[in-house]
């Protein structure tokens, strides 16, 4: 069965510092996709970045990058130069086959000024 | 270009009642999925609709049912509400042709409180 584990319930970071949010996953299927979503207090899930299991390079989207280590089954999100607006819940999710996402428990990130 | 819209934003119901939540997908999207997010948890998949049919279902009882209309909008119905049904209900959409490596777009959710 698919499983996503996020071991950091909360993270506190100073503004402008980089931060790494951990995510490990478990699957026996060689084909899968990994997503990171941001959820502010408003509730909306905002897509940040995607990594496919066959992608050779780590995904990057602006200040977001995904440190994909396939052998270790990890897909950590790196946010460079953090901003106050980055404070939110962050969810790692995995998808296999037809469009069902399995989410982790999330990490609450707080950026301090 | 409107994103995924959900209504209502908040709802308070009593145990045993029935509730209907509504979702309009992002323009051009034809697949709609519903997720339940309990407080402090990650979202859990309820079901997915495509071409007006339920295509996938998560581990939820039959009290949870849905519908998709010809214009791709969708409803989530929950019967015989329990206190444990209190949660944020998220609707997500995608254009099927984009493939499963394209992101699901989520709405702001409906917060249901059962008393």
Q: What is the pLDDT of residues A71-107, one digit of tens each?
A: 999 999 999 999 999 999 999 999 976 668 999 999 9
State residue B65's pLDDT score: 97
User: What confidence score (pLDDT) does residue B2 get?
Assistant: 73
Q: Over 70: is that where the pLDDT of A2 sits?
A: yes
Find the residue in B nearest to A35 (Cα): B103
Tokens of B31: 């697949």
Could you tell me if B48 lies within 8 Å of chain A, comparing CB atoms? yes
- Using the predicted structure, report yes or no on whether residue B101 has a pLDDT greater than 90: no
Instruction: Answer yes or no: is pLDDT of B100 > 80.
Output: no
Strand ranges in A40-99 using DSSP code E only, listed in sequence order: 46-52, 60-61, 64-69, 74-79, 88-96
pLDDT at A5 over 80: yes
With tokens 């994103």, the residue in question is B3
CA B71/CA B14 separation, integer angstroms: 31
Closest A-chain CA to B103: A47
Place of tokens 């404070």: A87
Mean pLDDT over B86-100 rounds to 88
Q: How far is B22 from chain A (nearest CA, A)?
A: 15
Give the range among A17-26, B44-53, B81-90, B96-105 with minimum mean pLDDT. B96-105
pLDDT category of residue B96 using cuts at 50, 70 and 90: confident
Bond prior to B8 in cis (omega within 30° of 0): yes
- To the nearest whole Å, the CA of A5 is away from the closest chain B CA by 11
Whether pLDDT at B103 is above 80: yes
| pLDDT number for residue B1 | 62
Provide CB contacts within 8 A for B54, sequence distance 6+: B47, B48, B66
Give the H/E segment covering residue B46. strand B44-50
User: Among A42, A46, A52, whose Cβ lies nearest the Cβ of B101?
Assistant: A52
Chain B residue whose CA is closest to A38: B106
Residue B52 scores a pLDDT above 90: yes
For residue B56, what are the CA distances in angstroms to A33, A98, B32, B49, B67? 18, 8, 11, 7, 13
Residue percentage of chain A with pLDDT more than 90:
83
């Amino acid at each position: 069965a698919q499983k996503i584990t996020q071991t950091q319930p909360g993270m506190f970071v100073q503004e402008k510092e980089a931060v790494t949010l951990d995510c490990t996953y478990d699957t026996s299927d060689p084909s899968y996709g990994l997503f990171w979503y941001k959820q502010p207090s408003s509730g909306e899930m905002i897509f940040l970045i995607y990594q496919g299991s066959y992608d050779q390079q780590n995904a990057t989207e602006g200040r977001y990058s995904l440190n994909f280590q396939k052998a270790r089954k990890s897909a950590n999100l790196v946010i460079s130069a953090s901003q106050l607006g980055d404070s939110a819940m962050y969810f790692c999710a995995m998808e296999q086959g037809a469009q069902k996402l399995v989410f982790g428990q999330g990490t609450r990130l707080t950026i301090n000024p | 270009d409107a994103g995924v819209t959900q209504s209502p934003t908040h709802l308070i119901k009593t145990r045993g009642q029935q509730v209907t939540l509504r979702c309009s997908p992002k323009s051009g999207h034809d697949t709609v999925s519903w997720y339940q997010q309990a407080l402090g948890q990650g979202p859990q998949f309820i079901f997915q609709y495509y071409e007006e049919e339920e295509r996938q279902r998560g581990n939820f009882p039959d009290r949870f049912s849905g519908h998709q209309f010809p214009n791709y909008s969708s409803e989530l119905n929950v019967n015989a509400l329990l206190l444990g049904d209190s949660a944020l209900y998220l609707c997500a959409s995608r254009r099927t042709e984009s493939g499963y490596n394209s992101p699901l777009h989520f709405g702001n959710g409906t917060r249901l409180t059962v008393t």
